[in-house]
Amino acid sequence: MFGSYIKIAWRNLLKQKVFAAVNVVGMSAAICAALLLSLTAYREWTYDDFQVNKEHIYQLYREDGTAKGMRIGTSFAEPMADVLRKEVQGVKHVSRIGGGDMPVRYNGKHIYFDVEMVDADFLKMFSFRLLQGNVSTALQQPDQLVLTQKTARALFNQEDPVGKTVEVNIDNQWRPFIVSAVAANVPDNSSIMFEALVRFENVDDYATIRNNWNMGNYPLMVEVEASVTTAAFEKSLVPVTNKYYAGNIEELKKNGGIPNKDGVLIRMNGIPLNEFHLNTLSSFSNGLNPFYPWLMVILAVLIIGIACINFINLSIARSFTRGSEIGLRKALGAMDRQLLFQFWSEAFLLCFISLILSLLLTILLMPYYNATFNHELSLRLFSNIWLVLGAAFIFFMVTLLAGGYPAWKVARLNIIQVLKGKLSLAKGNGVRNGLIIVQFIVAALLISCTAVIWQQLDFIQSTPLGFNTTQVISIPGDNASPQVIASLRSRLAGEADVESVSGSMLNLGLGKDGSSGNWYRGFTYKGSHINTQCIIVDYDYARTLDLKMVAGRDFSRNFGADTTGVVINEQMAKLLGEKDLIGAVITPSDVPLHVIGVVKDYHFESLRKKIDPLMMVMTITPHSNYVFVKVNTRNPVATLKHISAIWKDINPLAKNDPSFLDENTNRLYRQEARFSKIFMSGAVLAIVISCMGLFAIAVLVMAQRQKEIGIRKVLGASVGGIVLLLSKDFLKLVLIAVLIATPLSWYLMQQWLQRFEFHVNIHWWLFAMVGLMAVIIALATTSLQTIKAALANPVDSLKRD
């Protein structure tokens, strides 16, 4: 029985090639887009799923209620790790995490690896499988090293690495380590990544920080017993907070700190491991907005919805052109359920063909999609049976939605009206028009959102940041020694295109090493608590970056005591509250610092944030993790390549390439750029599918109104008048859609812009342009058929039955 329905459905589709083609193309494109978007959301939501204890592992963070609002910190004083082990019930394991790219050498090989420094509990907490070695003993000693399978092969080839001695360059010193274990390669959906592990005691400043409660530079991870809930764990941290941060609490009280909703000034909380990836507070977050996966799903639903609307509209419209067939079937005894099943089988066949084509399209487009939107999707995701079952269920619901309603509508037709030929396409107008409006609401919404995001990106790229972005090259130091940096300075000094060279502990923007960060310092100044960001810089920093001095001077080699000087920005000057700050003494550490200069505020972080207070200091031993080179050239690309070659010649182990600062600052907004591409792609696809449906509806409407058009022409109606008459109904629907979409898109984009401290204003003319664009698109879609109908010979139209 089902086979006969499919055969009949196939014959009917072959008779209506335009109808079938519009639906198959639209549904194939929609299903392909929905698959890619849904897979993207699924991947983001399943980060760290391989971690067995993901619900019981937390990264700690601290909330301080300052007078200016809540301040969040994710780094803790190193003694806190032992305190948690000994004084908090329910804690199983604790680990600090620090490190980065470091040179590793063995038997003449020098390779950069991501060496993370962790506590002995690390491998007990996390589900990183060991291929060789034992979890309990792999990090028992400070000189032990764990490699991943990939890094072990790169370093040792086929040689067994366990027991071998390798050297790691830490703080410009080669230290020997014994390979104690080999771990399986870290899954690509892990928030915590590494290529090698050593004990945390090997960090370069461990002797200074091990007992220091005033410094906190590294994130702290805690695993609790399975029976301990998040609320219970955070409650157990209260006594520890009150005990070890009593001085900080008193200081906040004295400076007008604002308690949180629970009435406390300092609170420690935990971020569960299964939230790391999408929690912007986590040190292991990729900075992705938590709404991003939901956006993917919403776009997928909207695109599938538009395709279903097309299907429903065309099926209803076409059913009224099949009056003779329906009437004959009903006269011969066909029951309503049989008609319903017949029309549903046609919908199923169309959707099944579309599904097969969409799967092929997905396979072909996946590499391009990954490259364009910076994703890492693969067909391996379909190995999850629940994902496959979910996709099958959604497919069934789409066929039921797209084919069920038209089939039900057809089954309820009155046989007498059908046989008398009294059926009219107008009977489906209410539903049809409503669905067309929904289609264009989605299209107008996506166009508006794309326009606002593009405006904000353009604003970001054109806003002066207060420093030179177009002439300054940033070179990641890759743990190079001060001698190597000095050698680079010396080589660059002889280059004609180089104006000045400096360095800093922190980069500006996001370099090709993918690293960014900040360093907060707190101290008391004349009875007030001051919290500021701090960076260690080298000579000529302000000169190289073209920072404007508003008072005093920059660091200079002419002053031997400049390592006890500090340069601050205007925000910091306001915080200190002095009219003349030059010569003022502040004590952010044990060594008093003299204010020698004030620079004009500049955006050393993204435009999402306001400009924080900042102080710049120098140290006796330079900490130039990044070298800045100001160039004056008419060929920046060639100059960048030349300087890169010099850097690779001086430091052959250099892993990351230099880049101009404007590239770095633009990388800070990759998420917004990705949103823009996705919205634009979704908008284009929504418009194309909507226009395909509108075109097909116009064909059917014109066919139904041929006699009316013929009569109007005989009575003297002009071609222009008829075109306007036939088009205005569709244009009216589009205008209604734009009017509904405008306030909705304004609200959504207003909420999105609030994420930026500096952003554009949304103007009314933007929505006027979107409305005009939608009208032009709709008019262009229907004009071919309306003009063709208006120009047709009225005699031919009137002759038709």
Same domain, 419 and 496: no
pLDDT tens digits for range 638-647: 999 999 999 8
Amino acid making up residue 408: W
Q: Is 255 inside a domain boundary?
A: yes
Taking alpha carbons only, the member of 48, 243, 222, 271 closest to residue 122 is 222
Same domain, 644 and 788: no
Same domain, 121 and 61: no
Same domain, 616 and 698: no
> In the structure encoding, which two tokens stand for residue 33, read together?
């887009």
- Report the distance separating Cα 6 and Cα 215, nearest Å: 73
Query: Given this model, what pLDDT does residue 177 score?
Result: 95
Query: Given this model, what pLDDT does residue 328 score?
Result: 60
Same domain, 531 and 638: yes
Q: Is 235 inside a domain boundary?
A: no
Same domain, 410 and 456: no
Q: Is 124 inside a domain boundary?
A: yes
Q: Is 229 inside a domain boundary?
A: no
Same domain, 646 and 636: yes
> In the structure encoding, which two tokens stand for residue 574, read together?
């306001």
- Of 605, 622, 655, the one marking the end of a domain is 655
Q: Is 677 inside a domain boundary?
A: yes
Q: Give bridge partners of residue 683 from the DSSP assignment.
A: none
- CA angle, residues 782, 787, 789, in degrees to nearest 5: 100
Same domain, 609 and 649: yes
Q: Is 429 inside a domain boundary?
A: no
Query: Given this model, what pLDDT does residue 97 score?
Result: 92
Q: Give bridge partners of residue 266 from the DSSP assignment.
A: 64
Same domain, 25 and 97: no
Same domain, 419 and 438: no
Same domain, 546 and 450: no
Same domain, 455 and 487: no
**Pairing outcome for strands 549-552 and 91-106:** unpaired
User: What is the tally of structural domains in the chain?
Assistant: 4
- Residue 177, domain extent: 76-218
pLDDT tens digits for range 445-499: 888 888 888 888 888 878 889 999 999 999 888 777 777 888 888 888 888 888 9
Query: Given this model, what pLDDT does residue 377 score?
Result: 79
Distances (CA, A) of 35 to 41, 386, 438, 686: 10, 15, 22, 15
Residue 583, class by beta-carbon neighbours within 10 Å (0-12 exposed, 13-18 middle, 19+ buried)? exposed
Q: Is 236 inside a domain boundary?
A: no
Measured from the Cβ of residue 163, the count of other Cβ atoms closer than 10 Å reads: 9
- Report the distance separating Cα 397 and Cα 380, nearest Å: 25
Q: Is 298 inside a domain boundary?
A: yes
Query: Given this model, what pLDDT does residue 17 score?
Result: 67
Under-70 pLDDT residues of the chain: 1-19, 287, 316-340, 381, 402-432, 561, 620-623, 696, 699-707, 713-715, 719-720, 726, 784-785, 788-801
pLDDT tens digits for range 215-268: 777 899 999 999 999 999 999 999 998 998 888 888 888 878 888 888 888 899
